């Protein structure tokens, strides 16, 4: 498609009318508005660049007015962040690994023999309590701690 081809799709009279519509002159108010806006731009408070503080602070340190910023472990922030990330990853890995390994699973204490229980009981001041005097939870706890039966707990 060429320029002339597309132009032919609009009647010549219409094109001629359109072409005559191009002679508008900008009103003087345009320059007034633009120039006042540009002046306002120049007068507007400028935002300080990020580096301003670095420069000022460095100079204050030189003059002894400000002290050097303390850094954790004396590291640059990027190294500190990397170290923290490694620690987090290490802990996460440890937890995950220990969960899947039986070596690090907590071992339950072996159930005591009757003779061992008797030995322990001999060293303990005991109070005899009837089973029916205890609540259900107390009975369970007593049994877990080696209570002989529902009749007597030492």
> For binding to other proteins (CB under 8 A), which residues are involved?
1, 3, 6, 9-11, 13-15, 17-27, 29-31, 33-34, 37-38, 41
Residue 58 CB, shortest distance to other proteins, in Å, is 28
Residue 22 CB, shortest distance to other proteins, in Å, is 4
Taking the least distance from each CB to other proteins, the nearer of 19 and 100 is: 19
Taking the least distance from each CB to other proteins, the nearer of 37 and 135 is: 37
Per-position b or e across 85-106, b if 16+ CB within 10 A of its CB: eeeeeeeeeeeeeeeeeeeeee
Half-sphere exposure of residue 118: CA atoms within 13 angstroms, side-chain side: 3
Taking the least distance from each CB to other proteins, the nearer of 47 and 70 is: 47
DSSP annotation of 99: H
Residue 18 CB, shortest distance to other proteins, in Å, is 4
């Amino acid at each position: 498609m060429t320029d002339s081809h597309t132009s032919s799709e609009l009647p010549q009279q219409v094109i001629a009318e359109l072409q005559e519509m191009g002679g508008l002159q900008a009103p003087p108010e345009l320059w007034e508005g633009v120039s006042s806006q540009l002046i306002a731009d120049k007068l507007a408070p400028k935002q300080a660049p990020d580096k301003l503080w670095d420069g000022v602070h460095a100079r204050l340190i030189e003059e002894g007015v400000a002290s050097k910023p303390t850094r954790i472990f004396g590291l640059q922030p990027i190294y500190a962040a990397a170290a923290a990330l490694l620690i987090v990853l290490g802990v996460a890995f440890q937890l995950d690994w220990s969960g899947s390994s039986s070596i690090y699973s907590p071992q339950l204490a072996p159930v005591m023999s009757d003779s061992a229980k008797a030995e322990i009981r001999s060293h303990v001041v005991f109070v005899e309590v009837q089973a029916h005097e205890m609540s259900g939870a107390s009975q369970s706890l007593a049994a877990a701690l080696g209570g002989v039966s529902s009749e007597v707990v030492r």
